[in-house]
């Protein structure tokens, strides 16, 4: 993505964010951003993801509307997944937005 396209996308996201606030609507619905819920370091749920890019026992990379999410750990397993939600279990060391 070029710098100009990135600035345009940021401007659109800012407008959507203001609209969500004004309408008292949940941002995940309006913006389509991922929701990540962690239970300690052993379980992570992700909502609003687009797809699985990479999956090993030490790395899970997901595609989202706002970029990629990288989950690093040991003994990682995708416990379940649907078209918009998944649960990853194992020893989670880090979660990174890329």
Structure tokens at 8: 């345009």
Q: How many CB atoms lie within 10 A of CB 6?
A: 10
- The Cα–Cα gap between 49 and 87 comes to 11
Q: Is 47:27 a contact under the CB 8 Å cutoff?
A: no
Three-state secondary structure call for residue 30: helix
Residues 77-84 have a mean pLDDT of: 94
- pTM here? 0.74
pLDDT in tens, 22-74: 666 666 665 678 999 999 999 999 999 999 999 999 999 999 988 999 999 99
- The Cα–Cα gap between 66 and 80 comes to 22
């Amino acid at each position: 993505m070029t710098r100009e396209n990135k600035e345009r996308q940021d401007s659109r996201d800012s407008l959507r964010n203001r609209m969500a606030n004004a309408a008292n609507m949940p941002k995940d619905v309006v913006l389509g951003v991922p929701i990540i819920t962690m239970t300690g370091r052993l379980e992570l749920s992700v909502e609003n993801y687009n797809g699985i890019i990479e999956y090993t026992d030490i790395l899970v990379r997901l595609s989202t509307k706002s970029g990629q999410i990288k989950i690093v750990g040991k003994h990682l397993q995708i416990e379940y997944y649907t078209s918009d939600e998944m649960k990853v279990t194992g020893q989670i060391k880090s979660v990174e937005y890329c």
